[in-house]
Amino acid sequence: MKKVMLAGLIIFALAACGPAANPQPSPQATSPDGQSLPETSPTQEGYPLPGGPVSPDDSRSAYPSPLEPKPEDDDFTRGNVFIDAVEILTLESFPPQFVLNISGNLPTPCHELRAKVSKPNRNDEIEVEVYSIVDPDSICIQVLEPFQDQVSLGRNLEAGTYTVLVNGEQVGTITVP
């Protein structure tokens, strides 16, 4: 009798470890702002990696940066940021990717950080505009809010050397082989 109970217990334990009979479908993937993302698999061409392009020749991001300006930002007041440090990082990838590591302070905890990256101009300059937005009707404690964030300088840049400017100040250069 003990052997039968032990065998039943082992079978029950093994059944509990197996896959469910009716697996639930996985939820639809969404971007940070709640929009549905296209269904893809890692083996499909143009698989959207975080911050990466939709396809190899497309510079648009499948996962837009939370720092990019949004249409609803027009309802907010634009403010300054106080930048303490900017560092250019080169990611080990092909094609090369460059990221700005920016740290500083927002005017209040109610301010949200925004960054707008321009395409290289005719002088081979990439201009990055970093600013904050705030709801003009919000009541907020008047204390600086520290931040540290990363801003992608884009992908698929043509070969050359580019000067990187943040809010009009030169922070360095990048070279694309």
The b/e string for 153-163 (b: 16+ C-beta within 10 A; e otherwise) is: bbbebeeeebb
C-alpha to C-alpha distance for 32 and 149, rounded to whole angstroms: 15
Backbone phi and psi for residue 71, each to the nearest 5 degrees, phi listed first: -55, -35
**12-16, 145-149, 164-168: least confidently modelled range:** 12-16
Percent of the chain predicted with pLDDT > 90 = 50
Kindly report, residue by residue over 18-49, the tens digit of the pLDDT: 555 444 444 555 544 555 554 443 333 333 33
Q: Are strands 77-79 and 82-91 parallel, antiparallel or unpaired?
A: unpaired
pLDDT band at residue 95 using 50, 70 and 90 as cut-offs = confident
Q: What is the pTM of this model?
A: 0.63
Task: Name, in order, each residue with C-beta under 8 angstroms of 74's C-beta and a sequence gap of 6 or more.
Answer: none
C-alpha to C-alpha distance for 52 and 71, rounded to whole angstroms: 22
Kindly report, residue by residue over 101-143, the tens digit of the pLDDT: 999 999 999 999 999 999 999 999 999 999 999 999 999 999 9
